[in-house]
Amino acid sequence: ARHALQHSQKLEAVGKLTGGVAHDFNNVLHVIGGNVQLLQLTNRDDARLHKRLNSIQSAVDRGAKLASQLLAFARRQPLQPVVLNPLQTLQAMDDLLQRALGESVRIRIDADDGLWNTLVDPGQWENVVMNLAINARDAMPGGGVLSIGLGNETVDAGHAGALDLVPGDYIRFSFADSGQGMSAEVIAHAFEPFFTTKPVGQGTGLGLSMAYGFVKQSGGHIVLDSEIGKGTTVTIYLPRSAQRAISKLGAAEQDVVGGG
Ligand code: ADP
Protein backbone atom coordinates (compact mmCIF):
# COMPACT_ATOMS: atom_id res chain seq x y z
CA ALA A 1 0.00 0.00 0.00
CA ARG A 2 2.91 2.34 0.75
CA HIS A 3 4.33 1.65 -2.67
CA ALA A 4 0.94 2.40 -4.23
CA LEU A 5 0.69 5.72 -2.42
CA GLN A 6 4.12 6.82 -3.60
CA HIS A 7 3.12 5.80 -7.07
CA SER A 8 -0.02 7.98 -7.01
CA GLN A 9 1.91 10.98 -5.71
CA LYS A 10 4.48 10.54 -8.43
CA LEU A 11 1.73 10.33 -11.03
CA GLU A 12 0.23 13.55 -9.76
CA ALA A 13 3.53 15.43 -9.75
CA VAL A 14 4.38 14.21 -13.24
CA GLY A 15 0.88 15.14 -14.37
CA LYS A 16 1.25 18.74 -13.21
CA LEU A 17 4.66 19.19 -14.76
CA THR A 18 3.56 17.54 -17.99
CA GLY A 19 0.48 19.70 -18.27
CA GLY A 20 2.55 22.89 -18.06
CA VAL A 21 5.15 21.72 -20.55
CA ALA A 22 2.58 20.36 -23.01
CA HIS A 23 0.67 23.64 -22.92
CA ASP A 24 3.72 25.78 -23.75
CA PHE A 25 4.88 23.26 -26.30
CA ASN A 26 1.52 23.51 -28.00
CA ASN A 27 1.84 27.29 -28.26
CA VAL A 28 5.26 26.94 -29.88
CA LEU A 29 3.84 24.46 -32.38
CA HIS A 30 1.02 26.87 -33.21
CA VAL A 31 3.51 29.59 -34.15
CA ILE A 32 5.53 27.18 -36.31
CA GLY A 33 2.41 25.70 -37.93
CA GLY A 34 0.90 29.12 -38.67
CA ASN A 35 4.07 30.36 -40.35
CA VAL A 36 4.44 27.17 -42.37
CA GLN A 37 0.92 27.63 -43.67
CA LEU A 38 1.68 31.22 -44.66
CA LEU A 39 4.86 30.15 -46.47
CA GLN A 40 2.95 27.40 -48.24
CA LEU A 41 0.43 29.94 -49.53
CA THR A 42 3.04 32.41 -50.76
CA ASN A 43 5.36 29.80 -52.33
CA ARG A 44 2.96 27.64 -54.27
CA ASP A 45 5.12 27.33 -57.38
CA ASP A 46 8.36 26.32 -55.64
CA ALA A 47 8.01 22.52 -55.60
CA ARG A 48 11.16 21.82 -53.58
CA LEU A 49 10.32 24.36 -50.91
CA HIS A 50 6.79 23.04 -50.85
CA LYS A 51 8.06 19.56 -50.11
CA ARG A 52 10.15 20.84 -47.20
CA LEU A 53 7.24 22.80 -45.82
CA ASN A 54 5.02 19.72 -46.00
CA SER A 55 7.48 17.73 -44.00
CA ILE A 56 7.70 20.48 -41.37
CA GLN A 57 3.92 20.54 -41.28
CA SER A 58 3.65 16.81 -40.67
CA ALA A 59 6.23 17.01 -37.87
CA VAL A 60 4.19 19.83 -36.34
CA ASP A 61 1.06 17.66 -36.60
CA ARG A 62 2.81 14.76 -34.85
CA GLY A 63 3.97 17.09 -32.10
CA ALA A 64 0.48 18.52 -31.68
CA LYS A 65 -0.94 15.00 -31.35
CA LEU A 66 1.58 14.14 -28.66
CA ALA A 67 0.90 17.42 -26.84
CA SER A 68 -2.83 16.73 -26.79
CA GLN A 69 -2.22 13.22 -25.39
CA LEU A 70 -0.04 14.73 -22.69
CA LEU A 71 -2.67 17.32 -21.86
CA ALA A 72 -5.34 14.64 -21.60
CA PHE A 73 -3.04 12.73 -19.25
CA ALA A 74 -2.33 15.78 -17.12
CA ARG A 75 -5.87 17.04 -16.90
CA ARG A 76 -7.20 14.23 -14.69
CA GLN A 77 -10.80 14.96 -15.49
CA PRO A 78 -13.27 14.22 -12.71
CA LEU A 79 -14.84 10.82 -13.24
CA GLN A 80 -18.49 10.51 -14.15
CA PRO A 81 -19.23 6.93 -13.17
CA VAL A 82 -22.46 5.24 -14.26
CA VAL A 83 -23.88 1.81 -13.52
CA LEU A 84 -23.13 -0.49 -16.43
CA ASN A 85 -23.34 -4.10 -17.43
CA PRO A 86 -19.63 -5.00 -17.74
CA LEU A 87 -20.12 -7.27 -20.74
CA GLN A 88 -22.04 -4.56 -22.59
CA THR A 89 -19.19 -2.08 -22.12
CA LEU A 90 -17.00 -4.42 -24.18
CA GLN A 91 -19.63 -5.45 -26.70
CA ALA A 92 -20.29 -1.78 -27.41
CA MET A 93 -16.63 -1.43 -28.41
CA ASP A 94 -16.48 -4.51 -30.58
CA ASP A 95 -16.01 -2.71 -33.91
CA LEU A 96 -13.56 -0.23 -32.46
CA LEU A 97 -11.50 -3.03 -30.91
CA GLN A 98 -11.47 -5.13 -34.02
CA ARG A 99 -10.30 -2.16 -36.08
CA ALA A 100 -7.53 -1.34 -33.59
CA LEU A 101 -6.34 -4.94 -33.49
CA GLY A 102 -6.26 -5.44 -37.23
CA GLU A 103 -6.96 -8.64 -39.13
CA SER A 104 -4.32 -10.86 -37.59
CA VAL A 105 -5.53 -10.61 -33.98
CA ARG A 106 -8.71 -12.38 -32.93
CA ILE A 107 -10.78 -11.28 -29.92
CA ARG A 108 -12.47 -13.80 -27.65
CA ILE A 109 -14.79 -12.70 -24.88
CA ASP A 110 -15.82 -15.15 -22.16
CA ALA A 111 -18.16 -13.90 -19.48
CA ASP A 112 -19.43 -15.80 -16.46
CA ASP A 113 -23.17 -16.12 -16.08
CA GLY A 114 -24.91 -13.75 -13.69
CA LEU A 115 -22.31 -10.98 -13.91
CA TRP A 116 -22.85 -8.15 -11.47
CA ASN A 117 -23.03 -4.58 -12.66
CA THR A 118 -20.15 -2.20 -12.23
CA LEU A 119 -19.80 1.50 -11.58
CA VAL A 120 -17.40 3.13 -14.00
CA ASP A 121 -16.83 6.20 -16.17
CA PRO A 122 -17.69 4.89 -19.64
CA GLY A 123 -15.52 7.23 -21.73
CA GLN A 124 -12.38 6.74 -19.69
CA TRP A 125 -12.98 3.01 -19.34
CA GLU A 126 -13.14 2.82 -23.14
CA ASN A 127 -9.74 4.55 -23.34
CA VAL A 128 -8.25 2.05 -20.92
CA VAL A 129 -9.59 -0.92 -22.89
CA MET A 130 -8.29 0.57 -26.15
CA ASN A 131 -4.84 1.09 -24.65
CA LEU A 132 -4.74 -2.52 -23.45
CA ALA A 133 -5.85 -3.76 -26.86
CA ILE A 134 -3.17 -1.72 -28.64
CA ASN A 135 -0.52 -3.05 -26.27
CA ALA A 136 -1.72 -6.60 -26.95
CA ARG A 137 -1.57 -5.99 -30.70
CA ASP A 138 1.95 -4.56 -30.47
CA ALA A 139 3.03 -7.63 -28.45
CA MET A 140 1.72 -9.96 -31.18
CA PRO A 141 3.29 -8.73 -34.43
CA GLY A 142 2.63 -12.08 -36.04
CA GLY A 143 -0.98 -12.17 -34.93
CA GLY A 144 -2.66 -14.08 -32.14
CA VAL A 145 -5.57 -13.98 -29.75
CA LEU A 146 -6.69 -11.38 -27.26
CA SER A 147 -8.78 -13.26 -24.78
CA ILE A 148 -10.99 -11.17 -22.52
CA GLY A 149 -12.54 -12.82 -19.48
CA LEU A 150 -15.14 -11.38 -17.12
CA GLY A 151 -16.20 -12.71 -13.77
CA ASN A 152 -17.56 -11.79 -10.36
CA GLU A 153 -15.05 -11.73 -7.55
CA THR A 154 -15.62 -11.36 -3.84
CA VAL A 155 -12.46 -10.15 -2.19
CA ASP A 156 -12.36 -11.09 1.50
CA ALA A 157 -10.28 -9.45 4.21
CA GLY A 158 -7.58 -12.11 3.81
CA HIS A 159 -6.87 -11.20 0.19
CA ALA A 160 -7.76 -7.52 0.12
CA GLY A 161 -4.35 -6.35 1.31
CA ALA A 162 -2.43 -8.21 -1.36
CA LEU A 163 -4.71 -6.78 -4.04
CA ASP A 164 -4.66 -3.29 -2.51
CA LEU A 165 -8.46 -3.31 -2.40
CA VAL A 166 -11.10 -2.76 0.22
CA PRO A 167 -12.81 -6.09 0.98
CA GLY A 168 -15.99 -6.36 -1.08
CA ASP A 169 -17.48 -7.35 -4.43
CA TYR A 170 -15.70 -6.62 -7.71
CA ILE A 171 -15.94 -7.40 -11.38
CA ARG A 172 -12.75 -8.99 -12.67
CA PHE A 173 -11.71 -8.25 -16.25
CA SER A 174 -8.72 -10.14 -17.61
CA PHE A 175 -7.07 -9.21 -20.91
CA ALA A 176 -4.79 -12.04 -21.95
CA ASP A 177 -2.62 -11.95 -25.07
CA SER A 178 -0.44 -14.64 -26.57
CA GLY A 179 2.36 -12.18 -27.29
CA GLN A 180 6.03 -11.71 -26.51
CA GLY A 181 5.52 -11.08 -22.78
CA MET A 182 7.43 -8.74 -20.47
CA SER A 183 10.64 -9.18 -18.50
CA ALA A 184 10.62 -8.64 -14.73
CA GLU A 185 12.42 -5.35 -15.39
CA VAL A 186 9.72 -4.12 -17.78
CA ILE A 187 6.95 -5.24 -15.40
CA ALA A 188 8.60 -3.29 -12.58
CA HIS A 189 8.46 -0.04 -14.59
CA ALA A 190 5.42 -0.57 -16.81
CA PHE A 191 3.05 1.62 -14.77
CA GLU A 192 5.44 4.56 -14.66
CA PRO A 193 4.47 7.53 -16.82
CA PHE A 194 6.64 7.75 -19.98
CA PHE A 195 8.13 4.30 -19.54
CA THR A 196 8.06 2.66 -22.97
CA THR A 197 10.08 0.04 -24.82
CA LYS A 198 8.56 1.06 -28.16
CA PRO A 199 10.33 3.06 -30.86
CA VAL A 200 10.10 6.85 -30.74
CA GLY A 201 6.83 7.97 -32.28
CA GLN A 202 5.08 4.67 -31.54
CA GLY A 203 4.85 4.59 -27.77
CA THR A 204 4.21 7.40 -25.31
CA GLY A 205 4.55 5.26 -22.19
CA LEU A 206 1.28 6.69 -20.93
CA GLY A 207 -1.16 3.82 -21.62
CA LEU A 208 -0.58 1.74 -18.52
CA SER A 209 0.04 4.69 -16.20
CA MET A 210 -3.27 6.22 -17.31
CA ALA A 211 -4.96 2.85 -16.79
CA TYR A 212 -3.42 2.64 -13.32
CA GLY A 213 -4.55 6.14 -12.32
CA PHE A 214 -8.06 5.58 -13.65
CA VAL A 215 -8.57 2.16 -12.06
CA LYS A 216 -7.30 3.35 -8.66
CA GLN A 217 -9.47 6.45 -8.83
CA SER A 218 -12.43 4.19 -9.61
CA GLY A 219 -11.84 2.18 -6.44
CA GLY A 220 -10.36 -0.81 -8.24
CA HIS A 221 -7.03 -2.41 -8.89
CA ILE A 222 -4.85 -3.48 -11.84
CA VAL A 223 -2.31 -6.32 -11.91
CA LEU A 224 0.20 -7.47 -14.55
CA ASP A 225 1.09 -11.08 -15.02
CA SER A 226 3.50 -11.91 -17.81
CA GLU A 227 5.92 -14.48 -19.08
CA ILE A 228 8.49 -13.91 -21.83
CA GLY A 229 7.49 -15.78 -24.97
CA LYS A 230 4.11 -16.81 -23.58
CA GLY A 231 2.11 -13.65 -23.19
CA THR A 232 0.72 -11.09 -20.82
CA THR A 233 -2.44 -10.92 -18.75
CA VAL A 234 -3.67 -7.60 -17.42
CA THR A 235 -6.30 -8.07 -14.72
CA ILE A 236 -8.50 -5.20 -13.65
CA TYR A 237 -10.90 -5.18 -10.71
CA LEU A 238 -13.71 -2.64 -10.78
CA PRO A 239 -16.18 -2.22 -7.93
CA ARG A 240 -19.60 -3.87 -8.08
CA SER A 241 -22.71 -1.77 -8.13
CA ALA A 242 -25.93 -3.16 -6.68
CA GLN A 243 -27.96 -0.79 -8.83
CA ARG A 244 -29.74 -1.51 -12.08
CA ALA A 245 -27.61 -0.84 -15.14
CA ILE A 246 -28.61 1.84 -17.57
CA SER A 247 -29.37 0.39 -20.96
CA LYS A 248 -28.32 3.32 -23.09
CA LEU A 249 -25.72 5.84 -22.04
CA GLY A 250 -27.35 9.11 -21.12
CA ALA A 251 -30.82 7.55 -21.21
CA ALA A 252 -31.34 7.37 -17.48
CA GLU A 253 -30.03 10.45 -15.73
CA GLN A 254 -31.31 9.24 -12.37
CA ASP A 255 -28.88 6.33 -12.53
CA VAL A 256 -25.85 8.57 -12.80
CA VAL A 257 -24.01 8.33 -9.52
CA GLY A 258 -21.56 10.75 -8.01
CA GLY A 259 -19.76 13.28 -10.11
CA GLY A 260 -16.10 12.69 -9.42
P1 ADP B 1 3.35 2.35 -24.53
O2 ADP B 1 2.39 1.30 -25.03
O3 ADP B 1 3.10 3.68 -25.16
O4 ADP B 1 4.77 1.92 -24.60
P5 ADP B 1 2.31 1.67 -21.92
O6 ADP B 1 2.33 2.41 -20.62
O7 ADP B 1 0.95 1.24 -22.37
O8 ADP B 1 3.03 2.59 -22.96
O9 ADP B 1 3.22 0.37 -21.79
C10 ADP B 1 4.52 0.47 -21.27
C11 ADP B 1 5.38 -0.71 -21.73
O12 ADP B 1 4.89 -1.92 -21.13
C13 ADP B 1 5.36 -0.98 -23.22
O14 ADP B 1 6.27 -0.18 -23.91
C15 ADP B 1 5.71 -2.46 -23.28
O16 ADP B 1 7.11 -2.65 -23.15
C17 ADP B 1 5.09 -3.00 -22.02
N18 ADP B 1 3.78 -3.65 -22.29
C19 ADP B 1 2.57 -3.14 -22.04
N20 ADP B 1 1.59 -4.01 -22.39
C21 ADP B 1 2.21 -5.10 -22.88
C22 ADP B 1 1.77 -6.38 -23.39
N23 ADP B 1 0.47 -6.68 -23.50
N24 ADP B 1 2.72 -7.27 -23.79
C25 ADP B 1 4.03 -6.99 -23.69
N26 ADP B 1 4.51 -5.82 -23.20
C27 ADP B 1 3.63 -4.89 -22.80
The ipTM value here is 0.99
Answer whether residue 2 shows pLDDT above 60: no
Neighbour tally for 196: CB within 10 Å: 18
Answer whether residue 19 shows pLDDT above 70: yes
Q: Per DSSP, which regions of the chain are E strands?
A: 82-84, 105-111, 117-120, 144-155, 168-177, 221-227, 231-241
Lowest mean pLDDT among 69-73, 87-91, 216-220, 256-260: 256-260
Which residue from 208, 223, 228 has its CB within 8 A of the most atoms of ligand 1, so it is best to mutate? 208
Which residue from 196, 204, 210, 222 has its CB within 8 A of the most atoms of ligand 1, so it is best to mutate? 196
Distance separating alpha carbons of residues 17 and 14, to the nearest angstrom: 5
Distance separating alpha carbons of residues 164 and 160, to the nearest angstrom: 6
pLDDT in tens, 79-103: 889 999 999 999 999 999 999 999 9
Describe the crossing of helices 94-101 and 122-139 by its angle, rounded to 10 degrees: 30
Ligand 1 pocket check for 210: Cβ under 6 Å: no
